[in-house]
Amino acid sequence: MAKNTNPDSGIIGIFRHLDTVCAAIEKVRVRPDFAGHEVFSPTSYHEIEHASGFGASPVRAFTLVGALTGTVTGFGLALACDWDWPIIVGGKTPGIYSLPAYVVLGFEFTILLGAIATVAGMLVMGRIPNPKRRVLDVRTTDDKFAIFLPGAQLASPQAQFLRDCGAEEVRNT
């Protein structure tokens, strides 16, 4: 069998209901003949993530690094400003001794940089934007779910397996 060079050619099984596609994903993910399959859904569902066997999201590492960077930046900015332009109020010594006043700025930078890092992490880990990737079935952007298997043929046992799992339509892409 010739090696297929087009990554978008293969078979796609269209599912109507979330529970049907989740049951199919749980069966598909353990089969070696479905290696490289992709699942498409109109939006993110925790049920699909659970059925796919994903562990903890790697985006949380982006959030942690961003939040810690924000904390250090906020406290560092306030400390640098206090050292450069000391304002002695109530006899307090400027610098590290007025640390409680820096908490607000440190907190705000924690939230800001943590949120920015989370968005960046979602884009990086989701490979978005990807202008080379096309929509395989427009119904997956509205109300349907799909399992795509690259390189498979419509007459293959994988296509029949998708039908047996409850796909309402299996077709070539």
According to the model, what pLDDT value does residue 67 have? 98
Query: What digits encode the pLDDT tens for the residues 32-88?
Result: 999 889 999 999 898 998 999 888 889 999 999 999 999 999 999 999 988 888 877
φ, ψ for residue 149 (rounded to 5)?
Answer: -120, 105
On average, the pLDDT of the chain sits at 89
Partners of 39 in beta bridges: 147
Is the pTM above the cut of 0.75? no
DSSP 3: P
Q: What are residue 72's phi and psi, to 5 degrees?
A: -65, -40
- In the chain, where are the structural domains located? 10-49+140-172, 59-125
**pLDDT for residue 6:** 63
Residue 2 pLDDT greater than 70, yes or no? no
Q: Are 7 and 173 in contact (CB under 8 A)?
A: no
In one-letter notation, the amino acid at residue 88 is I
Structural class in CATH, domain 10-49+140-172: alpha beta
